Structure 1
Amino acid sequence: MLQHAKQIVKKVLIQPTGWICRQEFRLQDFSRFNERPVEYAFVLKKIGEIYPLTILDVGTGTTALPHLMRNCGCLVTATDNKRDYWPNGMHNRHYHVIDDDITATRLSDTFDFIT
């Protein structure tokens, strides 16, 4: 019974995400190429060479990079200065981003790789 209830709740919670993704797919429009292919290729190549266990992604913004690095098996901490850089707020739908100013960080962990 509990398992069935969990399945129903999951379906209800996934509905808005599915709708948003469909809307973004339908409304996508090409404007220009950007630097992401070069950035992602470099980062993923270095992950393949170094095999870092822990990664700090600084200035994540709304990109999917931390999610991609996590898919490589690394433990990823994503940060961005949401309060100062994004005055209207920022939400990354791909990964949890910690609100932190890297110039006065509150993080105490050490990392094998920083992007």
Structure 2
Amino acid sequence: MNVIKQILVGFGKLILVFSILAAATIGFAIWKMYPINSYCDSLTTGMAFDNAVKMAHERALNTPFIDMDESDRLMVFNHDAPFFRLACEIHFKEGKLIFKKAIGAD
């Protein structure tokens, strides 16, 4: 009977450790996603390209491809490469926002 109790206690500890690791992983993902999701949600249809860039810089988000003379598309990243990057992909037509979507960039 004592052996069974020890096995159950060990199994309970194992489940506790895995639960803590799962909670930490989910918490980290939410923490990394919040800034880019918040930015993407705050954009409105019809917004000007320059205003979208200005808002990204105000929130300390990265716009590494801004100088590529591609004013019909903008990628705003939550941080520099290489890992766990998320982005807000924004499409413009005639300088006005028509589409936005938060995506995984890596």
* Shared fold, TM over 0.5: no
| TM-score (normalizing by structure 1) | 0.27
User: Which is richer in strand?
Assistant: 2
Tell which structure's C-alpha radius of gyration is larger.
Answer: 2
